[in-house]
Structures are given as structure tokens and as C-alpha cells.
Amino acid sequence: MSGGRNWTVRLREAGVKAMPPERLLPDGQPAYMSSWIYTFGVLTIAALVVIIASGTILGLKGPAWWHYTGVGHFFNSIHLWSVELFFFFMVIHLWGKFFMASWRGGRAKTWISGAISFLIAIAAAFTGYVSQQNFDSQWIATQAKDGLNSTGIGAFFNVLNFGQMYTYHVLLLPVVVVALVSAHILLVRRSGIVPPLPLPELGLGASVAEQPGASAAESAA
Amino acid sequence: MSLAAIINLNHPASYAHWHFFEMSVPNLIVIALMIIVFALAIVLPFPGSRRRRGQS
């Protein structure tokens, strides 16, 4: 039997072609990445890992656990503050990438996947706030109901339905966020880290294409 | 031993209000912190960047 006709072989070859191992896990980074502003993407991912880990523990014990145990309150606080840090780092990452026009060099999909991740993460955080099972969550849910109904999107879900919102929060939206963030990271690895905007008057930016990790578009330029 | 927070947050947030603009003070603090951290991330030197630049 010919191996080339096997769908698993074709899938593997397509995967290796789309994402060569040396780009997926590089052993060097461009020198222009020696700036703190390039660390906020990975800080966002680190916060997401803590969110998923603490959320898993909270999910195992149930949504009311944090109300009556100190340990539950501790993990709920870890979950809340990791979300705060997630958005804190993600917004700074967004500002940094916006001001260096990171969609350059064929990186439009990377930019769009990051933007959609941000929007879905807001929905994930919102469903978390309405899953707290306290007066705060009831207040947020009733206010949000009016706001969402005024746009018409409230026809598709009911933010006062705790079971529905809890399922969105612990399963549906986290799956979408993790999938989008994974795609975002793979696209970053495939296209390379965006170089700084060229500053020809300072003699900077000309040798960026020579750096390891720079995309094929920059290397060809 | 008291485990109370250093800053008492157990009360409704204060609001800053100026003409049409209205925002809670905690949100304003977070936005100000993000701007400060963003500026520092651009200005502060990254460890090893000077040495690497000197080599090239």
C-alpha cells in the first residue's frame, strides 16, 4: 500500500509544510525582541494557564464552594486576579502591537485572531461575573439583560439563566478562547515576530530581515 | 491575627464624574496602571540588550 495515499500521511505532510518544526520551536529570536514590550503576549498566556488551572479546581468543587470555605475563597480569588492580570497584560500587548502595526508582512490573520480572542475573552469574563451566585452577579445579570436585549442579541441566550451562563463560562467560551489563542500562537510562530517599524533616518530596521525568526516576507524584502 | 485587607474594599466604589464622563475610581486606577506599565515597558532597558547591541 502506498503511504502517500494515506490520509494520515497527507495530513502529517501538510502539517509539517504549514508549520515547520524549526519555526514552531525556534532556538533563537530576533535581536529586536530585546524589549519588555515583547513580553506581554507570553504574560497573557501565563495568566490564561492560571485561569484554566484555578477554574478547573473551582469547577470540580462547584460554583457555591467559594462561598462557604476558605480554600474555595482562595481559589476563587486566584481565579479573579488571574483574569484581572490576563486582561491587564492583553491590553498592553494590544497597545504594543497596534502602535507597531503588527498586521504588516502578511500577519492579518494573526492580528484578527488576537482581536477575536480579546472579544470572546470579554464574553467569558462576563459569564464568570454572572456565575458568582451572589447579589453582585444578580445585579450584573439584570443590567446586562436590558443592555443585550436592546441590541437584539438577547434572543439567543438568557443571562438570567444561571445553568446556561455557567455552561458558557466553564465549557463553551473557554474552549473557543483556548482554540483561538492556540491558533494565534501558531500563526505568530509561522509568520515570525513582527519587526519594529523601520527608522531609516536612524539607520535602524534595515537589517531586521536578517534576524532569526523574521518572516519570509521580511527576509525576501 | 487579623486577615483584613490593607485597603478596605468592602464598600461600593467611588465614581469620577466630569461632564459626560463617568467611571469608577478602581477602573481609572487600572487604566492609569496599564498606561504606566506600557510606558515603562518601552522605556526601560531589557537585560542583555545593550551587550547584544554592542556585539553587532
Number of domains in chain B: 1
Residue A2 has pLDDT above 80, yes or no: no
Contact A36 B41 (CB under 8 A): yes
pLDDT tens track for B7-46: 887 888 899 999 999 999 999 999 999 999 999 999 999 9
pLDDT tens track for A173-204: 999 999 999 999 999 998 889 988 887 755 55
Percentage with pLDDT > 70 across chain A: 89
- Give residue limits of the domains in chain A: 35-100, 105-193
For residue B50, name the pLDDT band (cuts at 50, 70, 90): low
Q: Which of A29, A32, A33, A34 to mutate to test the interface with B (most CBs of B within 10 A)?
A: A34
Dump the DSSP string for A57-78: HHHHH-TTHHHH-HHHHHHHHH
Question: Which pLDDT score, from 0 to 100, does residue B8 have?
Answer: 82
Q: Which domain holds residue B24?
A: 13-40
Q: What is the ipTM of this complex?
A: 0.81
Q: A177 near A117, Cβ under 8 Å?
A: yes
Question: Which pLDDT score, from 0 to 100, does residue A199 have?
Answer: 75
d(CA A221, CA A92) in angstroms, rounded, equals: 29
Question: Is B56 part of any domain?
Answer: no
Contact A37 B49 (CB under 8 A): no
Q: Smallest CA–CA separation between B16 and chain A, in Å?
A: 20
Question: Which pLDDT score, from 0 to 100, does residue A197 have?
Answer: 85
Chain A residues near residue B38 by CB distance under 8 angstroms: 37, 92, 95-96
Chain B residues near residue A95 by CB distance under 8 angstroms: 34, 38
Query: Any chain A CB within 8 A of the CB of B52?
Result: yes
pTM of the model: 0.85
| A121 contacts: CB under 8 Å, gap ≥ 6 | A86, A87, A90, A177
d(CA A154, CA A158) in angstroms, rounded, equals: 6
For residue B2, name the pLDDT band (cuts at 50, 70, 90): low
Q: How far is CA B28 from the centre of its chain?
A: 9
Residue A163 parent element (H or E) = helix A162-167
pLDDT tens track for A3-49: 557 999 999 999 898 888 888 888 888 888 889 999 999 999 999 99
